Structure 1
Amino acid sequence: MPDAVVITCSTRAASGVYPDTSGQLLASALREWGFAVAEPVVVADGAPVGEALRAALASGVDLVLTTGGTGLNPTDRTPEETAPLLDRLVPGIPEALRAPGVAKGIPGAMLSRGVAGVADRTLVINLPGSSGGVKDALAVLAPVIAHALDQIRGGDHPR
């Protein structure tokens, strides 16, 4: 069974201003997909995101999904905390994650700055913080996650 970590990057959720709904959506979906995943780690924006990412990567999990901190707000620093930890970028993933929102006429979807890539043998993907953006992202990721993880482990391309 593959394992995953979900990190919610939100100062307001971390301080209890509102509940973490997007992280819960991700954890629930991952469990349905057969992943072993604990409750989401909820951290404030900025340096705490990098700390949580480094801890997740050190644990050797297969997949890390972050939610939040990908916008243009000055405190939205998830991509900046993520990118230095990646060995290889996978730019097609964030491109595909933005597309459904834009297609639905949500122009703000194109402002998401999330990145995706591989750190050692872990796939790391930044998702938006909104529940709608997470639902769209899950629909995009569902058919490709298993294949991506297999590729990271050295699996062959399907014929």
Structure 2
Amino acid sequence: MNQKKGVIRGICISPRRGTAKYPVETAKIVPDWGIEEDAHGGKWHRQISLLALEKIEAFREKGADVDFGAFGENLIVEGFDLRNVPVDSEIRIRDAVRLKVTQIGKECHSHCAIYQRMGDCIMPREGIFAEVLTGGMIRVGDCVEVVMPQEDRPYSVAVITLSDKAFAGERDDLSGPAIEKILKDSEEKDHIRFNIKETILLPDGEEGLKKQLIRLADQRQVDLILTTGGTGFAPRDMTPEATIAVCDRMANGIADAIRNYSMTITDRAMFSRAVSGMRKKTLIINLPGSPKAVTEALEYILPKLPHGLDVLRGNVQECGRK
């Protein structure tokens, strides 16, 4: 088990969002919430934020006079580069508190006071975020240990539906829930475990989808993104274009296999423009838009996906799970 060790050099909280965090010597970590009395706690995946002391000190060397908490960070850790700690790693504090890394970096929606003053802020690219698995008391000076993810953990998935009408509330999204059901049933049916991290409903078009694909692959580091909709001939069907734009490499054997299989059911499958590809270690697959077609396509490819996902993860063995 690959492990890294460090020390907590600062703990910061703030009672209200949008206000600067201030240092404290001790804090109570609450399971599935975050730090007690910190405004960013809650039932979501960014319960606690962490930043490396080394990154703060390097920023100070540029002439920035910044205190602990100025970047909105909860925990300042010395001893390793947090930016290189992958999602699904565990951060253990004093062998009692356990955090699970859920996101690397974040999008900066509005430039903070530090950015306005320095023209830069390190939190969006250097900060990491975690949810609380096990709570307890922590204090400055506590030892921190990072345990890298297990190879046999469930595959993390995001599901994105593209539909102008569903986004506008003019009809229900049936394809996204169909994908969720198949994934949830896969452990019993195919002995494959999936962990659905996010489900997203977007209008058709390219820019919004590109933004989400980049975020999910780079920050959430999900293993698999499944899109449904937007692969036909309509003017706003731009799912393939968005996918191609963000991928480092294409894997269109998957899209071709879906088309070939679907042609045995309906010859209208020839009008699908779906593609598949990879961004870093995330596999992106375009699925059809109708609930019937998406179910047929996903049930066909799902038992075969573990091999490719394992190779992308960098597992030593390049074979699917039994």
On the 8 A contact 2:255/2:274 being kept in 1, the answer is: yes
SS in 2 for 1:17: coil
User: Shift of the alpha carbon at 1:43?
Assistant: 0.2
SS in 1 for 2:292: helix
- Using the size of structure 2 for normalisation, the TM-score is 0.47
Partner of residue 130, structure 1: 290
SS in 1 for 2:171: coil
Give the 3 Å change call, closer, same or farther, for CA 63–7 of structure 1 in structure 2. Answer: same
Give the 3 Å change call, closer, same or farther, for CA 151–39 of structure 1 in structure 2. Answer: closer
Matched, 1:141 2:301: yes
Matched, 1:50 2:174: no
Alignment of 1:8-23 (within 5 A): 8-23=161-176
On the 8 A contact 2:182/2:299 being kept in 1, the answer is: no
On the 8 A contact 1:96/1:140 being kept in 2, the answer is: no
On the 8 A contact 1:5/1:56 being kept in 2, the answer is: yes
Q: Give, in whole Å, the separation in 1 of the partners of 2:213 and 2:167.
A: 16
User: Shift of the alpha carbon at 1:53?
Assistant: 1.5
Aligned Cα RMSD in Å?
Answer: 1.6
Matched, 1:64 2:203: no
Matched, 1:5 2:158: yes
From the two aligned structures, give the one with the greater helix fraction.
Answer: 1
SS in 1 for 2:303: coil
On the 8 A contact 1:27/1:39 being kept in 2, the answer is: no
User: Shift of the alpha carbon at 1:110?
Assistant: 1.1
Q: Give, in whole Å, the separation in 2 of the partners of 1:87 and 1:3.
A: 20
User: Shift of the alpha carbon at 1:51?
Assistant: 2.0
Q: Give, in whole Å, the separation in 2 of the partners of 1:38 and 1:151.
A: 21
User: Shift of the alpha carbon at 1:38?
Assistant: 4.3
Partner of residue 25, structure 1: 178
Q: Give, in whole Å, the separation in 2 of the partners of 1:32 and 1:10.
A: 25
**Correspondence for 1:81 among 222, 229, 242:** 242
User: Shift of the alpha carbon at 1:96?
Assistant: 0.8
User: Shift of the alpha carbon at 1:39?
Assistant: 5.5
Number of aligned pairs? 158
Percent of aligned pairs sharing the same letter: 38
- Using the size of structure 1 for normalisation, the TM-score is 0.92
Alignment-mate amino acid for residue 8 of structure 1: T
From the two aligned structures, give the one with the greater strand fraction.
Answer: 2
SS in 1 for 2:260: helix
**Correspondence for 1:103 among 260, 264, 287:** 264
Gaps of 5+ in 1: none
Task: Please tell me whether Structure 1 or Structure 2 has the larger radius of gyration of its CA atoms.
Answer: 2
Q: Give, in whole Å, the separation in 1 of the partners of 2:284 and 2:299.
A: 17
